[in-house]
Amino acid sequence: MDNMRERFAATTSRLLDEDPRLAVVLAEITRDGFADAARAHPDRVVNVGIREQLLIGAGAGMALTGMRPVVHTFASFLVERPFEQVKLDLGHQGLGAVLVSAGGSYDWPAGGFTHMSPGDVALLDTLDGWTVHVPGHPDEAEALLRHAVRGDDRVYVRLSLQANQRPQPVTGGGFRTVREGHGGVVIAVGPMLDAVLAATEGMDVTVLYATTVRPFDGAALRRATDAPGRADVVLVEPYLAGTSTAATNDALADRPHRVLGLGVGRQELRRYGQIEEHVAAHGLDAASLHRSIGGFLAGSLTPQG
C-alpha cells in the first residue's frame, strides 16, 4: 500500500493530464514524485526552489490568471512559515488554491520539532473560508483531492503517514456515523479513527468520523447528541489538542454540554524516536484514549492544568 503523499503525487499527475486548468507548485519537496508530470507539463509543474513565501505567492498569482494551483510542501513550510502569504495572497485577494501538506504532526519524529506542525489547522482557523480535509487513508486522500481540485475555493489537504487500516467512503462533506450509542459522542478525525474505535470498544458511545473538519459539521454533531439531557463530546484530533473545541461549543451553544479536546499537546516534547512513541506521549494511543474518554464520560477526568 502506498502512503498518502505517494498517492497525492500519482493522483495529481493523472489529474494534470485531464485538466488543463490545473497546476502544481512545489518548493523542492516531493519534486521526484512529480518528475514525470513535469516532463509532460513543463509549464504546469513549477518548482520555485526552497522559497516558501514565493511558493504561496506564485500559486496565488497563477490563480489570478484563472488557473487552479495545487501548492505543496511539508506543513511547517506550507502553513506556518509563509502564513501571511496564505492570509493575504489567497484570502485577502479573494483567490483560491489547494494547499496540500505532508508531514502531519510528527511523521518524522527523528527529524525533530522543526519538521513538526501540530498547529497548522489551528492557524488556518484564524482565517475565513478555508475547507480543511484530514484524510485517514490514501484512498480517502485521493477522493478528497479529486473533490478539491474541481472548485475555486481555498482548500487545505493534510496528508500524513499516520493512517487507518481501511478506508471509509468520503464525500468531501460532513461527518460520518461509524458507531451509534447513547452515552456520548466521540469525533475521530482522519488517522485517529482506528485508535478511537479500539478505545471505545464496548463503550455506549456514538463515533463520528471526520475527514473534513472545516467547515465543521455542527448539524451532524447536533443530530448525534439529539437526546434529552446533557451532551458529552470528545474530540480526538491528530493535531493540536482543542483545535475544534470552539467549533463544537458553537454547534451546541443552546444546550448543556461538556467537551473534551484530545490531540497533540502544546508543550514541545523534545524527543526523537518513532511516530508510535509520539502518539503514546500525547495520549493518543488506544489505551490512553480509552482512559481519557472513559474518565471524561464517567465524570472523573481531572482536567490537566
How far apart are alpha carbons 284 and 274 in whole angstroms?
Answer: 14
CB of 88 to another protein, least distance (A): 6
Query: What's the residue count for the chain?
Result: 305
CA dihedral (90, 96, 99, 105) in degrees, to 10, reads 70
The DSSP 8-state label assigned to residue 171 in this structure reads -
Closer by beta carbon to another protein, 24 or else 205: 24
176: closest CA among 168, 184, 185?
168
Return the exposure string of 42-65: e unless at least 16 CB atoms fall within 10 Å of the residue's CB, then b.
eebbbbbeeebebbbbbbbbbbee
Q: Which is nearer to another protein, 71 or 205 (CB)?
A: 71
Give the pairing of strands 212-214 and 257-264. Answer: unpaired
What is the nearest approach in angstroms of another protein to the Cβ of residue 49?
Answer: 6
Angle at 62 between CA 49 and CA 153, to 5 degrees: 115
Residue 101 Cβ vs another protein, minimum distance, rounded to whole Å: 19
61/112 with CB nearer another protein? 61
Compute the least distance from the CB of residue 51 to another protein, in Å: 4
CB of 92 to another protein, least distance (A): 6
Q: Provide the grid cell at 11.
A: 493522483
Whether 233 contacts 257, CB under 8 Å: yes
Please identify, using beta-carbon distances, which residue of 54 and 286 lies nearer to another protein: 54
Residues of this chain that interact with another protein (CB under 8 A) are: 23, 25, 43-44, 46, 48-49, 51, 53-54, 56-67, 69, 84-85, 88-89, 92-94
- How far apart are CB 56 and another protein at their closest, in Å? 7
| Nearest distance in Å: CB 93, another protein | 6
Closer residue to another protein, CB minimum distance, 65 or 267: 65
The residue among 14 and 166 lying less far from another protein, judged by its C-beta, is: 14
Query: How far apart, in whole angstroms, are the C-alpha atoms of residue 271 and residue 54?
Result: 32
Q: Is 62 helix (H, G, I), strand (E, B) or coil?
A: helix
Give the residue with the Cβ less far from another protein, 49 or 295.
Answer: 49
- Candidates 143, 141, 124, 149; CA nearest to 239 is 124
